Amino acid sequence: MQVSTKWLKDFIDIDCTADELAEKFTMAGIAVENIVHAGAGLEKVVTGKVAEIVKHADSDHMFVCQMDVGAGELIQIVTGAQNVKAGDIVPVAMVGANLPCGKKIVKSKLRGVVSNGMLCSADELKIEGDSSGIYILPADTLVGVPAAEVLGLDDDILEFELTANRGDCFSVFGLIREAAVLLKKPAHFPEIKVNEDAGKNAADMIKIKIDAPDLCSRFSARVLTDVKLGPSPEWLQKRLEGAGIRAINNVVDVTNFVMVELGQPMHAYDYDEIVGKVLNARRSVAGEQLHTLDDSNRLAKGDELVIADAEKAAGLAGVMGGFETEITEKTKTVVLEAAAFNAASIRRTSRAVGLHSEASGRFERGVNEKATVIALDRAAQLLQEMGACKVCKGIVDIYPNPKPAVKVQFTTKQINDRLGTNYSDKEIVDVLTALGFKISGNVATVPDWRNDVTLMEDLSEEIARIYGYDKIPATLPKGSQQGRQSKTQNFTDKIKNILAALGMNEEISFAFTSVETFDKLQIPADSELRRAVPIMNPYENPLLRTNLIGSILENAARNLSRKNEDVRLFEIAPVFFPKSLPITEQPREVLKLAGLIMGRREPKGWSQNSAEVDFYDAKGIVEELFAQLSILNYTVEAGAHYALHPGKTAIFKKGREILATVGEVHPAVAEAFGIGKKIYIFEADIATLIKCTAKKFVFESLPKYPAITRDLAILVNREVVAGEVEKVIAKAAGEFFKGVTLFDVYTGDRISADKKSLAFTIKFQSGERTLKDEEADAAFKDILLSVEKTFAAELRA
Amino acid sequence: MINYFAMERQIQQLRESAATMISAASDLKELDNVRVKIFGKKGELTGLLRGISQLSAEERPKIGKIVNEARAQIEQLIADKNAELKAQDLQNKLASEKIDVTLPGRKIHCGHLHPLTLTLNRVKEIFIQMGYTVEEGPEVETDYFNFEALNLPKDHPARDTQDSFYITNEILLRTQTSPVQARTMQKNPPNTPIRMIAPGRVYRRDDYDASHAPMFTQVEGLVIDKGITFADLKGTLDFFCKQFFGESAQIRLRPSFFPFTEPSTEIDVSCPICHGKGDCKVCHGSGWLEILGAGEVHPDVLKMSGYDSNVVSGFAFGVGVERLAMLKYGIDDLRMFFENDIRFLNQF
Ligand SMILES: [Zn+2]
């Protein structure tokens, strides 16, 4: 909705600027999005008459003018224009003017002659016209008046962004009603009266039917004869232009004008083209041809409301008229329609057709069905005043179920209790009355144009917005409650903090994925990870993700492509698994953690190690995370994962629960994501981690007696895994065993190729006394025997 | 034959030469050589002492005293010189250890929480302090909870502004975290007081550009109790904005329309960049930035979830976390949040 302030000023005295008016509207809930000042930059431009013009003494192309700008004294202006002569009236930019073309006017000297302004061309004022010289105004133009007024540019266009509830403000009258309350000024609405001079009865000429009363609650029509089609008068064209509507011809222009003025969309039919002289508001028949006025043939779906004559649908009601009955130069007799169509139906149809018009926008917000006949009268009156028609007697009006007035019960206390205010009975009644409500005791009768008010709560908003939301006090709710987060939320926050402390950056990525991503990840065809939830109307990727690995690899690849080589990322987010396919109920949402590292172990620096991270860095992050989460006594074994290197995949387990999977990304997967480097990732399930966290954390006191350590270096076959050796050591180490640390792994020239050397430090300690060396030696002997037996290990010298 | 006076003179000469030698010693080794030269087995003083036996009984104690004095004096000179040379040595050592302190320190890989998490954490902190619980709900919602329970029936024009990703005609990616309101109310016995926020990801089928994303983060808030007023809403959000943006932050309420609240308001906060002093790219010189939608809960919304609007009332609000983060950190492109460029993430 947009409208010029001049149109509003026809009906109410507005004594503030357009900006102030817009602010008042906005702060009352009638949001003005934008103000277009048509005359911006013309504030210091006035009309002036050339009283005297002489050649500049020192220039062969400049003239010195003495200008009458209605100030009593003449002012001197030097111009280079060649088309000005004495007696011409022209726009004069005075000193201080800041023209639309960007020129700022200052007092100056041109070759020694003082110039106190500038004579303007059309181009300098950014108006239409011949720009080869100064813009010459008509000879009868008043002198000394603002040029904007003379040029018709003293107008401001208000562009409204109306909320869905205020259909009534989709009209000049609606805005005037609001402005009258906000400015506390009376509104002067025009007198609407028609002289029914055609000598015929409308009811004898046209029959109106409503076959779909659920989609059309009222259908009113007038018949106009002796129609003289032609252009509208200039004032009406100007009004429409201000409202952003193109002028077409007087009949169509008047229907548009009345739509903007009253908010009631109208349609004009060529009476002679209506077959059977009947108009019926009915549902379309599926497959029916609709020939609309854009000359396209549309196939009806069967639920649209159409206006049909005896033979065919003559248009999509409220959305687009029909081709055959359109007003043309041959039109002699016109049927004007003003109807109330179902908002939801119009909305569906206009979306389906992809056509949002001024009319459909108004129907979608709901029109005032009481006012259809007023709109017909107003349109007939305007056309009659233009001498463009004669008006038949009567309105053909089908209104099967007149809407009763809405009555709302309220008390002053209820309204104050809702708002937290202290308005008096009178203050409340005053506002409601000004807005057109009729108050009788505790009942407010809602004016027929306000379809958004049905409850006391709605009345409270009227009071609040008219007195101003700034007048509402600011208080805090009484009472109190204990604030808290859930256990899962706390746990998730904790994981994020730990991982950040371990050098990982948190990422957030979209929840969408695609089959191509599953392919890139090498997810097997029969995996449940491919059974993803499909989106009916996707933006790009059509599925909801079933894992976070795809996202984290995409983020790594993006970083790498931007030359960010050292990347450490993690994300905690839900993934989605359907309970059935096709989807019949909400999918399972499972919270997952994924992490990724690649690049240097230490940041690049003048004295830093430039080695790259490897599998054990990723594993170490998971181990440290688990230690801090009190996830204890888990096992780690080699395993398999669709996206990981088959020889570099570890599964962290606790009983049957898989706590985490860590590994090097399979080179083929990395390559599919465009990554040519080694990347290591881990993933875990948050619920499983919560479940496997030690129930309570108990501090372990520091030892009172010293520990004894023994180092064990053994040669074993290369296939023997360290984890198994540690298990055997722990089992054989006896009652004082306190822990084992693998401190060296060696393969190479100094030992045979099929062997590796493992070196452990084994710690013994007692809580009651200082151990004797012999006790440690005895335990060490047992350990040695056991590893020799189990792994055919040899003690290294 | 050594006589007393000659000896006395020799001692005096030794004193003088010792003082000269000690003073000339340039390092500890040289000083030690001087000490040996004087006090060693073949040292000068040792040599002198051997001559004492040739003196008379009366002369011996006298000379002995002079010798002891001389010895004490020389030892003191050596000790002083020793201390001096040691101090000098240390100084030399320290001087030789000088490093270029302008070289950068050794870097550590530090991790960072995502700016949206940091912003959300701050929002949660403020509301938890005020006694709010943090509630959650599914991201894939039913049409009922996402729209209908919020007074947005099918074909409501307000649905136009929230283009949804549909899974089926009845299941969609939630367009707001407001459905958690209805879920929380329906979980409770009727009219149970509520103070909650519901943070989470929401989805709208918008083009992906500097100010729109198909997925973003929202915090919904709901307070229900006896006698909760629109003024309480204003006070609560004023407090929130002052906590989040600083004590000088002001709020401005503009009437608006949401189907689930009545009265409804949009809330602007005074521009944290220019403080309303105009010529500002962020607020376009208006001095205000829209950050919140809010209102008193519509009686139909209470009713649909088993609450009675004659007994309790409440307010609800929704705020975009991206918007808050952009204002707080001066970020001008929403896409930065989802590109996860580590040069961006490392700044928070
Ligand atoms: Zn600003």
pLDDT in tens, A700-734: 888 899 999 999 999 999 999 999 999 999 999 99
Segments making up each domain of chain B, as ranges = 4-96, 115-345
List strand residue ranges (DSSP E) for A249-331, in order: 266-270, 278-283, 289-292, 296-299, 305-308, 313-316, 320-321
Sequence-distant (6+) residues with CB within 8 A of A1 are A159, A160, A162, A169, A170
Look at residue A107 and give its three-state secondary structure.
coil
Q: How far apart are CA A432 and CA A463, in angstroms?
A: 7
Q: Which of residues 108-167 of B touch A (CB under 8 A)?
A: 108-114, 116-117, 121, 124, 127-134, 136, 138-142, 154-158, 160, 165-167
Phi and psi dihedrals of B221, rounded to 5?
-130, 150
Q: Which of B230, B242, B311 to mutate to test the interface with A (most CBs of A within 10 A)?
A: B230
* Residue B100 near chain A (CB below 8 Å): no
Distance of alpha carbon A370 from alpha carbon A262, whole angstroms = 12
The average pLDDT across B87-101 equals 93
Using CA atoms, how far apart are residues A658 and A695, in angstroms rounded to an integer? 18
- Amino acid letter at A534? P
Tokens standing for A789? 């037996």
How close does chain A come to B101, measured CA to CA in Å?
A: 13
Condensed to tens digits (0 to 9), the pLDDT of residues A204-221 reads: 999 999 999 999 999 999
Task: Tell me if the domain spanning A2-38+156-183 has CATH number 3.30.56.10.
Answer: yes
* Residue range A229-265, pLDDT digits in tens: 999 998 999 889 889 899 999 999 999 999 999 999 9
Contact between A47 and A137 under an 8 Å Cβ cutoff? The reply is: yes
Name the architecture of domain A45-150.
Beta Barrel (2.40)
* Residues in chain B closer than 8 A to A508 (CB atoms): 114, 116-117, 337-338, 340
B133-134 and A512-513 beta bridge pairing: unpaired
Q: Which amino acid is at B222?
A: L
ipTM (interface predicted TM): 0.87
- Give the Å distances, CA to CA, from B209 to A341, A508, A726, A734, B327: 37, 17, 55, 66, 17
Which of chain A's residues have a Cβ under 8 Å away from the Cβ of B228?
477
| Yes or no: domain A708-795 corresponds to CATH 3.40.190.10 | no
> Does B1 have pLDDT greater than 70?
no
| CA–CA distance, A394 with A413 (Å, rounded to integer) | 48
**pLDDT at B62 (0 to 100):** 85
DSSP string covering B268-326: EEE-TTTTT-S--TTTTTSSEEEEEEEEEEPHHHHHHTT--TTT-EEEEEEEEHHHHHH
Predicted confidence at residue B4, as pLDDT, reads 82
Secondary structure class of B75 (helix, strand, coil)? helix
> Which of A25, A422, A535 to probe by mutation at the B interface, max B CB count within 10 Å?
A535
Does residue B187 sit at the A interface (CB-CB below 8 Å)?
no
For residues A229 and A148, which has the higher predicted lDDT (pLDDT)? A229
Domain-by-domain residue ranges, chain A? 2-38+156-183, 45-150, 202-398, 407-471, 487-692, 708-795
Asked if A2-38+156-183 and A407-471 have one fold, the answer is yes
What's the average model confidence in pLDDT over A681-692?
Answer: 96
Geometric angle at alpha carbon B113, from B111 and B114, rounded to 5°: 125
Amino acid at A582: P
**Quick check: helix, strand or coil at residue A711?**
strand
Contact A534, B167 (CB under 8 A): yes
Over residues A286-309, the pLDDT tens digits come to 888 888 888 888 888 888 999 999
When pLDDT is cut at 50, 70 and 90, the band that residue B155 belongs to is confident
- Picking from B201, B235, B340, the nearest residue to A555 by CB comes out as B340
* Nearest chain A CA: its distance from B26 CA (Å): 38
CATH topology for A202-398 is Phenylalanyl-tRNA Synthetase; Chain B, domain 3 (3.50.40)
Q: A67, A73 in Cβ contact below 8 A?
A: no
Residue to substitute from A182, A342, A414, A418, interface B, most B β-carbons within 10 A: A418
Provide the pLDDT confidence category of residue B5 given band limits of 50, 70 and 90.
Answer: confident
A485: number of Cβ within 10 Å: 17
CB–CB contact B313 A418 (8 Å)? yes
Q: What is the mean pLDDT of residues A582-591?
A: 95
> Cβ A605–B343 below 8 Å, yes or no?
no
pLDDT at B345 over 60: yes
Q: In A151-192, which residue ranges form alpha helices assigned H by DSSP?
A: 172-183
Q: Measuring CA to CA, which residue among B234, B260, B310, B249 is closest to residue B283?
A: B249
Task: Verify whether the Cβ–Cβ distance A455 to B339 is below 8 Å.
Answer: no
Q: How confident is the model at residue A556 (pLDDT cuts 50, 70, 90)?
A: very high
pLDDT > 70 in chain A, percent:
100
Ligand 1 centroid–CA B270 distance in Å is 8
Q: Indicate the pLDDT class of residue B2, thresholds 50, 70 and 90.
A: low
Neighbours of A781 (CB within 10 A): 12
A481, A508, A587: residue with CB nearest B195: A481
CATH level 3 topology of B115-345: BirA Bifunctional Protein; domain 2 (3.30.930)
Which listed CATH number (3.30.930.10, 3.90.1300.10, 3.40.50.300, 3.40.50.720) goes with A487-692? 3.30.930.10
> Tokens in use for A480?
């109190």
Which H or E run contains A551? helix A549-561
Residue range A54-86, pLDDT digits in tens: 988 888 888 999 999 888 888 999 998 888 888
Percent of chain B clearing pLDDT 90 (strictly above): 70
CA distance A21 to A185: 13
Nearest to residue A765, comparing CAs of A785, A739, A784, A783? A739
Q: What 3-state class would DSSP assign to B27?
A: coil
Please tell me which residue of chain A has the smallest CA distance to B337.
Answer: A508
CATH architecture assigned to A407-471: 2-Layer Sandwich (3.30)
Distance CA A156, CA B159 (A): 32
Q: State whether the Cα torsion A165-A167-A169-A173 is positive or negative.
A: negative
Q: What is the pLDDT of residues A497-545, one digit of tens each?
A: 999 999 999 999 999 999 999 999 999 999 999 999 999 999 889 999 9
Angstroms from B348 CA to nearest CA on chain A = 10
Kindly tell me if the per-residue pLDDT of A792 is higher than 60.
Answer: yes
Residue entry with tokens 């609709």: A290
Burial class (CB in 10 A: 0-12, 13-18, 19+), A92: buried
**Length in residues, chain A:** 797
A710: CA distance to ligand 1 center in Å?
Answer: 69
Spatial distance between the Cα atoms of A711 and A729, rounded to a whole number of angstroms: 12
**CB burial class (10 A; 0-12, 13-18, 19+) of residue A698?**
exposed
Q: Rounded mean pLDDT of chain B?
A: 91
Which tokens is A12 given?
């109410």
The 3-state DSSP class for residue A756 equals strand
Stretch 233-252 of chain B: residues touching chain A, C-beta under 8 Å: 234-236, 238-239, 252
Tell me how far apart the alpha carbons of residues A553 and A513 are, in angstroms, rounded to a whole number. 12
- Residue range A38-67: mean pLDDT, rounded: 88
Å from B21 to nearest chain A CA?
Answer: 48
